[in-house]
Amino acid sequence: MEYNLLEGLSKHNDKKDIYEFDKKRMKLVLTAVKKFNPDILILCEASFTPSHEKSKERFGIIIDYARLFGYPYFCYGIRTDRDGSTILSRYPLKFEEYSMEKTSFVRCFIKIKNKKITLDVVHPHPRISAFDKMRFIKSVIRDKEKNYILAGDFNSPSPEDRYNREKLVQAFRGMLKPWEGSAEKYVEKMLQGEMIEFIINSGLIDTYRATNKKKDFVFTNPTKLVAGVENSAMRLDYIFCSKEFKVLDAGIIKNKITDFASDHYPIYAVLEIK
């Protein structure tokens, strides 16, 4: 299960200029996760962790995700802001941490029944260029490795998904900064989905598309928590896997709980190791 938590389950107090823990959203996220009960839980925008003293100084919040969700094995990304990633597991893991400008990247190795799985979690910043996203993914992807999973919030649509171009242009006209150019050109470039296309062409399986081939318009962001940006709806969260896995099921969890738990819907994939 991959879940973007939206600013580490926090909300900004404008009067005090600090981030405060959002207990209401925490309860909703906990309910959603426990109902699905994944063996491996990937969290994006989750850098408010006990190991991040700089996060505490900067934002006033620390969160022990392993204790909160009840997982014995975990690794936290080293970025000291809201964009870091966390991996929680019921199986033993070893991890490597990386810090990259305007991206979050964590790699870990999970042992399940004498087989080693390599799991990479990525979260490039939504405003970096398509060129920088491609450069980033080319530098980290391990597409030739067996038992490989690549997941996260990619902040990029897939060329295999269909979107209403005019609605997206309308949405991004109100979201782009003046120096980011016209909404028309931005949307046109974005919909090419170069990074996701590169990942698919490398041979990795888009687990959602493997089990939901006939669904045209699908999205993981935004949820009903974020009002006024419905036209910007896109599928930005993915779980890819190598061909050693059999994809039994995959989907986007949309219900009354996840509608208001975060600005992203959680996604899942049920995989069998061949």
Q: Lowest-pLDDT range, 9-13, 33-37, 84-88?
A: 9-13
**CA-based R_g, the chain, Å:** 18
Q: Lowest-pLDDT range, 15-24, 133-142, 202-211?
A: 15-24
Distance CA 154, CA 227 (A): 22
Q: Could you tell me the residue ranges of all domains in the chain? A: 2-273
Distance CA 106, CA 109 (A): 10
How confident is the model over 23-49, as a mean pLDDT?
91
Phi, psi of 91 (to 5 degrees): -115, 150
Q: Positive or negative, the Cα torsion across 95, 150, 194, 192?
A: negative
pTM score over 0.85: yes
Contacts of 23 (CB under 8 A, 6+ apart): none
Residue type, 220: T
Q: Which two tokens stand for residue 69?
A: 């969700």
Pick the closest to residue 197 from 154, 244, 231 (CA basis).
154
| Cα angle value 6/91/257 (rounded, 5°) | 30
Per-residue pLDDT of 165-174, as tens digits, reads 999 998 888 8
User: Residue 102's pLDDT band (boundaries 50, 70, 90)?
Assistant: low
Tell whether domain 2-273 is in CATH 3.60.10.10: yes
Per-residue pLDDT of 178-236, as tens digits, reads 777 888 988 898 888 899 999 999 999 999 999 998 888 899 999 999 987 889 999 99
**Which strand (E) or helix (H) includes residue 231?**
none
In this predicted structure, what is the pLDDT of residue 80?
47
User: Residue 85's pLDDT band (boundaries 50, 70, 90)?
Assistant: confident
pLDDT at residue 45 greater than cutoff 50? yes
The answer to whether 259 and 229 are in contact (CB under 8 A) is no
